[in-house]
Amino acid sequence: MSAYERADAMAAIAEALDAGIVVFDAARVVRFVNTRACGLLQRTVAQVDGTALAQHFAFLDDARLAGVVKDQREVPLPDGSTVTLAFSITTTAIADEPSHVALLQDVTPKRKMQGERDLFLQLAAVGEAMPTVLHELRNPLSAVLSAIEVLADERREDEALRDELQIIENEVRRALLGIEGLGLSSRSLRTVSEDDVGEAIRTVCHILGARARRNRIELDVQIEPMPKLYLDASAMRALVYNLVTNAIHACKSGAKVRVRAQIEPATTDFELTVEDTGSGMPPEVLARCTQLFFTTKRSGSGIGLALCRDLVMRGGADLDIVSAVGAGTKVRITVPVPHCRPLSNTGREERRDTHP
């Protein structure tokens, strides 16, 4: 085989490989590059061949100068995205000239999977610690609540103190509601025993009402008379707490939050809607808002809507979020509750079958 034929064969082999190959000389000029290496960087062989290594492969140039022979780099691409490339550089002699051969592999998918695996491990660790953390938080708060009640009772005649205590009590109850929701991560919205869901919603709105008033946000609550339902009151409290808290966060002074709960007469589904005239969400936030740990708030946790979504999904219910920037957000939860009829005007149940 002549030298010419051998060079051709080598080039054909380099093209057939599922790896990027960049050969550069001691002056760090690209002497050979295969199509794959150029494709990884969204370039063509004609653009790259014969150029200074630093021009298109700055990460290899840096590595070479620093004496790094094997590593990974996140490399920016012309279209604004990035690719994670693993590389190894071998030093050799080609036609008696000291040269370097760099092999490149796209490890972006692997990197993404590693990121997801790390997140799962993190979640598992948080999940394991959660009951203890919640217990540690709940107990002292409950003790504070009892102390407030005793104090308020003892100093009944002191109006100023009573008002102060009322504010503290409300904040403690609000914190307890948040904690209660976090403890429900594996619970379902449905139960085998009946609960007064309307009362659960009213309680939460009452506690959050103080915060809304302080921020001059109108909280308008309308709960239609309904029978007890086979739905979990603490799950309902968590839903309302998270949805109304989000709505209040999204609202400026003068805005409005409407909470509606009813048995929809046509379908007999239980329906909860929380609607606000707040900031609304742009499409990219709306698309991700129920993802665990997704938040746009500086001190947000990104847990609220993920918890709502899980509770709703496990309960075979629907969660529907409609939002527009500047107009506000409407969240509707619909839970089929078979054999249930709305109460008549007399407030008495029209028909109530036994557990479905």
Ligand X SMILES: Nc1ncnc2c1ncn2[C@@H]1O[C@H](COP(=O)(O)OP(=O)(O)O)[C@@H](O)[C@H]1O
Q: Which residues bind ligand X (CB under 6 A)?
A: 242, 246-247, 250, 276, 278-281, 285, 289, 294-297, 300-306, 329
Residue entry with tokens 């494709």: 39
DSSP tag of 344: -
Q: How far is the CB of 147 from Mg ion (least distance, A)?
A: 29
- Minimum Å gap between C-beta 321 and ligand X is 8
The distance of closest approach from Cβ of residue 309 to ligand X in the complex, given in angstroms and rounded to an integer, is: 9
* Strand pairing report for 218-223 and 190-195: unpaired
Alpha carbon 30 to its chain centroid, in Å, reads 44
Residue whose CB is nearest to ligand X in the complex, by number = 304
Closest chain position to Mg ion (CB)? 304
329 binds Mg ion (CB under 5 A): no
The DSSP letter of residue 252 is: P
- When asked if residue 246 is in the footprint of Mg ion (CB under 5 A), the reply is yes
Q: How many other CB atoms sit within 10 Å of the CB of residue 25?
A: 15
Q: Residue 306's binding partner, choosing from ligand X, Mg ion, none, with beta-carbon cut-off 5 to 8 A by kind? A: ligand X
Q: CB under 5 to 8 A by kind: which of Mg ion, ligand X, none does 38 bind? A: none
Residue (44 or 296) nearer to Mg ion, CB? 296
| Cβ 145 to Mg ion shortest distance, Å | 23
Residue appearing with tokens 């014969």: 50
Nearer to Mg ion, 22 or 217 (CB): 217
Question: From residue 210, how far is each of 214, 271, 338 by CA, in Å?
Answer: 6, 25, 35
Annotate 98-110 with b (16+ C-beta within 10 A) or e (fewer): ebbbbbbbbbbee
> Is position 20 an interface residue for Mg ion (rule: CB under 5 A)?
no
Looking at 227, 278, 304, 315, which residue binds Mg ion (CB under 5 A)? 304
Q: How far is the CB of 285 from ligand X (least distance, A)?
A: 5
Long-range contacts from 192-196, C-beta under 8 angstroms, 24+ separation: 192/230, 192/355, 193/230, 194/227, 194/228, 194/229, 194/230, 195/228, 195/229, 195/230, 195/231, 195/232, 195/233, 195/236, 196/228, 196/233
Q: Which C-beta is closer to Mg ion: that of 145 or that of 322?
A: 322
The item of Mg ion, ligand X, none sharing an interface with residue 294, based on CB under 5 to 8 Å by kind, is: ligand X
Task: Provide the minimum distance between the beta carbon of 198 and Mg ion in the complex, in angstroms, as a whole number.
Answer: 23
Residue 47's binding partner, choosing from Mg ion, ligand X, none, with beta-carbon cut-off 5 to 8 A by kind?
none
